[in-house]
Structure 1
Amino acid sequence: MQSIEAEGYSIHFNGKGYEIINELVAEKNYSSIFIIVDSNSNEICLPNFLPNLSTDSRIEIIEFDAGEINKNIETCLGIWNVLTELRADRKSLIINLGGGVVTDLGGFVASTFKRGIDFLHVPTTLLAMVDASVGGKNGVDLGNLKNQIGTITIPKMVLIDTSFLETLPQNEMRSGLAEMLKHGLIYDKDYWEKFLDLSQIDFADFDTLIYDSIFIKNEIVKQDPREDGIRKALNFGHTLGHAIESYFLESENKKNLLHGEAIAVGMILESYISWKKGLLSAEEYLQIKTTIKGIYDEVVFDENDLIPIGELLIHDKKNEYGNIQFALIEGVGNIKINQSVENKLINEAFEDYKS
């Protein structure tokens, strides 16, 4: 597949990507290479990655425990200390090998260590490939609040090796699929319609769908790298989705949701809001709700959940001057950013989701 040119870096695919990593490492003559992994990618992905890395530079592996719960400043402190102990310097390279937690956290570690050292992403989950590794956003959670601390710093490159997906559980594949659905809903109706019946998808050609999803995200980011305007479109489903994800993460009586599972709910809720605000037809909303509910298990909410979820909305990063801002869809394939939504309509959306 042809490489995708992003703002200041490139996204390369499969075998060609390894060739370019090795060319980069040789050209830059890095003093040392640090590969950041979590406990999953260390066991499953690193053995397949290392044989493809050709270098005389010293290689060190830094592992942290897998899971969103470890995407925090304490994990970063541990990694910064290890980098210091292993004599990392401004001429070192960090390679982030793993899912979205690894690329988000590893990018933040690299962009802040010694005021910034080179890094690149090798995402190993579908979610990381089509979303987390693309666009230059890096960061960690603050308690249960998603991505409150971070930077926008671009990597030297991104390598998409879809062979890593062969080891991915089905629930993780569905989690990544949510971001692909979002890309269709906000940007390309034809792309969205490819997912209306998953039984008709030729998964032998799934690489093409991944490529198209990355292309869509990159096109939006190129227009607005700092998220001052249209890049907010990528937050469709995330205003409520992130609040739901955070609430389930902190609640002892709730089972944690994968990111894509929470975003799937968020997209249904925010599609309902779009419909009720006259931006979306009833037929379009029903299609969205039916399609997404056909892919993801229903999440159970009770009345006691809505108030704390609503309180978490005030921490959404799109908010301005204390006002909650939504990105809503104006017909499938189009977006309308900076939309205010009253609490009554949010509660109605939850009631409709349960129906």
Structure 2
Amino acid sequence: MQSIQANGYHISFSNNGYISLNKIIRENNYSSLFILFDSNSNELCSTRFLSSLETDVRIEIIEIEPGETEKNITTCVEIWNILTELGADRKTLLINVGGGVITDIGGFIASTFKRGIDFVNIPTTLLAMVDASIGGKNGVDLGNLKNQIGVINIPKMVLIDTEYLTTLPQNEMRSGLAEMIKHGLIYDTSYWSKFQQLSQIDFADFDSLIHRSIEIKNEIVMHDPTENGIRKTLNFGHTLGHAIESFFLENENKKTLLHGEAIAVGMILESYISWQKKLLTKEEYYQIKSTINSIFEVIEFNENDLQPILDLLIHDKKNEYGEIQFSLLERIGKSKINQKVDTELIAAAFGDYKT
């Protein structure tokens, strides 16, 4: 697949990506390479990745536990200390190999260690390939609040190797599909249509779907790197989705949701709100709801869940002057940002979701 040029870096694929990575290592004369894995990506992906490196530069491996609960400032401090103890300096390259937690936290650690060292993202999950590793957002959670601390800082490159997807369980693959579906809904009607009959997709061509999803996100970010305008469209499904994800993460009586599982719910809820605000048609809303529910399990909410989820909305990063700002759908393929929504309409969306 052809490389994609982003703002100040490139996104390369498969064998060409490894050629580009080795060229970057060679031309930048790094003093050391530090590879950040979680225990899953270390076990399942390290052999393929390390065998692709062509360098005599010293390599150190850092491993953390997997999962969203590790994406916090305490983990950052531990890794900053390891970097220091093992002699990392301003000419160290940090390579982040793993899912979205690894690319998010790794980019943040690199951006802040010694006021910034180079980093490369090598996503190994579908979600990270089409979303988390692209666009320069790096950061950590604050308690159960998603992505409250972070920076926007670009990597030296992103390397997409879809062979790593063979290591994923089905629920992780499905989680990544949520962001791909979102890209179609906010930007590309023909791309969205491919997910309406998922069973008919020729998965021999799945790499091309991944490539197009990355293209869509990159095109949006290129127009608005710092999220002052059109980049906010990428938050469709995420205002309520992040609140739901945080609520399920902190509630011991709830099963922890994968990011994409929560965003799938958020997209249905925010599509309902779009319909009720006379942006979407009824037919479009039901098309979105039925398509997403054909791919993702319906999540159960009880009457006591709504208020805690509403309380979490105040922490959404798009909020301005204390007001919650939604990115909704004006129609399938087009978004409308900075939309205010009252709590009664949100409650009605949850009510409709259960039917």
TM bracket, shorter-chain basis: over 0.9
1:135-182 deviation per Cα after TM superposition (whole angstroms, max 9, x unaligned): 000000000000000000000000000000011100000000000000
What CA RMSD, in Å, does the superposition of the two structures yield over aligned residues?
0.3
Look up the match of 1:12: 12
DSSP 3-state at the match of 1:297:
coil
Secondary structure at 1:303 match in 2: coil
Residue identity opposite 1:251 in structure 2: N
2:313 matched to which residue of 1? 313
TM-score by length of 2: 1.00
Aligned equivalents of 1:230 and 1:199: distance in 2? 32
Matches of 2:166 and 2:124, distance apart in 1: 10
Shift of 1:262: 0.1
Letter in 1 for 2:306: L
SS of the residue corresponding to residue 147 of structure 2 reads: strand
Aligned residue runs from structure 1 range 218-233, under 5 A: 218-233=218-233
Q: How far apart, in 1, do the equivalents of 2:42 and 2:150 lie?
A: 24
Alignment partners' CA distance in 1, 2:154 and 2:108: 10
Structure-to-structure mapping, 1:142-181, within 5 angstroms? 142-181=142-181
Point out where structure 2 has 5 or more consecutive residues left out of the alignment. none
Which residue identity is paired with 1:298?
A: V
1:18-57 pair list within 5 angstroms? 18-57=18-57
Matched, 1:79 2:84: no
C-alpha separation in 1, matches of 2:105 and 2:192? 30
CA distance in 2, matches of 1:200, 1:297: 20
Structure 1 residue 14, shift from structure 2 partner: 0.3
C-alpha distance in 1, partners of 2:256/2:138?
22
Deviant stretches of 4+, over 2 Å: none
Distance 1:107 1:303 in 2: 39
Secondary structure of residue in 2 paired with 1:330: strand
**Map of 2:63 onto structure 1:** 63
Amino acid across the alignment from 1:123: P
CA offset at residue 47 of structure 1?
1.1
Q: CA deviation at 1:273?
A: 0.1
Write the distance in 2 (CA, Å) between the matches of 1:67 and 1:47: 21
| Residue of structure 1 in register with 2:136 after alignment | 136
In 2: Cα distance, 1:131 partner to 1:54 partner: 28
Matched letter for residue 268 of structure 1: I
Matched, 1:287 2:291: no
Residue in 2 that maps onto 1:301: 301
Tell me the distance in 2 between the aligned counterparts of 1:320 and 1:53.
Answer: 45
Please name the residue that 1:238 is paired with.
238
Measured after TM superposition, the shift of residue 343 of structure 1 is 0.3
Question: What is the TM-score of this pair, normalised by structure 1?
Answer: 1.00
Structure 1: segments with no counterpart, 5+ residues: none
Tell me the SS of whatever aligns to 1:33: strand
Report SS of the residue matched to 1:37.
strand
Identity %: 72
Give the Cα separation in 2 of the matches to 1:211 and 1:198: 17
Secondary structure of the 1:304 match is coil
Partner of 2:225, secondary structure, is coil
Deviation, 1:284, is 0.3
1:184-230, Cα deviation, whole Å (9 max, x unpaired): 00000000000101111000000000000000000000000000111
Task: Measure, in 1, the Cα distance between the counterparts of 2:72 and 2:242.
Answer: 16
1:22 deviates by: 0.4
Paired amino acid for 2:222? K
